[in-house]
Amino acid sequence: MLKYIVRRLILAIPVLLGVSVISFFVMQLAPGDFLDTYRINPNISREKIQELETLYGLDKNPVTQYFLWLGNILQGDWGYSFVYKIDVWQVLLRRLEATLLLGVTTFIFTWGIGIPLGITAALHQYKFTDQALSTIGLIGISIPNFFFALLWLMWAANTGIFPIGGMLSREFANFPWYKQIGDFFWHVAGPVITLGTASLAGTMRIMRGQMLDEMNQDYAEFARAKGMPSDVVIYKHTLRNAINPVITSLGFSLSAILGGALITEYVFSWPGLGSLMRDAIFQQDIYLVMANLLLQGILLIVGNLIADILLAASDPRVRLRMSA
């Protein structure tokens, strides 16, 4: 297992390198740079602009800029934010906690509800429960995140049951610990439901299909023919095999959550990496954008690695292949 993890981490290096190359030169395709707002200001002299170009490295060609940035990354220096005037890593740390809290909460919501609903739908195949859950799942997959977010905001504004934005209340620091936890979940409900609905529906549909396939396998029929209780066949044998594709989709689910978070965080004024990324792109804060993309690439690779490890823990056949 350790050799497999090390091998995967080594293979991740060219992936991250490719992501950085493509991202950097796509950013360079945008016209102008961060200093354009300074250039149109008549109160800023040409000499000052040239000084800033030299300071930020914008006076060099894109290839030279990339290799200078890459060399700094290898030394642990993620770059300097033009907008915030501090190291980009300090900016990312301020927002990373909010995005991770949103992502982990959404993941728990997705798997904690989607897997049981998928099992329930499979056990009631073609009955009202199965048809109702399948219809809800189809609707959940069909509604775009941004549209669902707008519907939620309209409902929250009209009813006042949930806040329409933000991560915490103004009085959060004065709350006792149990009210602080409740306040967080009160604010995170909208983004989590908006962001997790499509993933929940997808997880439920995958789980239903896999459970039906496994329940009709020969080993399940043989176990029932020997008189093994139905609950043991379902929850000890078929479920263990049926959940493998769901575990495999963990990395893709994480990708969907991080990708959808950009729009969701913007709509709900959630102070995470998604809204930071949007602002950095419009302000052409190139090193902040690059650090953000690189960090999200690392998170995706870690997510896929965790999925493989969980799959190995669930399926002995995978462990045997990993040890080979």
pLDDT digits (tens, 9 = 90+) for 140-181: 888 888 888 888 989 988 988 888 888 888 888 888 888 888
pLDDT of residue 321: 64
pLDDT at 128: 92
Mean pLDDT computed over every residue of the chain: 83
pLDDT at 1: 67
221: enclosing H helix or E strand: helix 218-225
Tokens of 294: 């690189």
Q: Could you read off the pLDDT of 194-216 as tens digits, one per residue?
A: 888 888 888 898 899 999 998 88
- Residue 251 pLDDT greater than 80, yes or no: no
Cα(81)–Cα(258) distance, integer angstroms: 22
Question: Using an 8 Å Cβ cutoff, are 224 and 230 in contact?
Answer: yes
Query: What are 45-84's pLDDT values in tens digits?
Result: 788 778 877 877 777 888 888 888 888 888 888 888 888 8
On whether the pTM is more than 0.85, the answer is no
Q: What is the pLDDT of residues 2-12, one digit of tens each?
A: 777 788 788 88
pLDDT of residue 42: 77
Which of helix, strand or coil describes residue 44? coil
pLDDT-derived band at 324 (thresholds 50, 70, 90) equals: low
φ/ψ of residue 16, rounded to 5: -65, -35
When pLDDT is cut at 50, 70 and 90, the band that residue 121 belongs to is: very high
* Full set of structural domains in the chain with CATH: 15-87 (no CATH), 89-323 (1.10.3720.10)
Q: Give the mean model confidence (pLDDT) for residues 90-105.
A: 85
pLDDT over threshold 70, residue 118: yes
* Coil, strand or helix at 80: strand
For the chain, helix, strand, coil in percent to 5 are: 80, 0, 20
Where residue 169 falls (left for φ over 0; alpha for ψ -120 to 50; beta otherwise) is beta
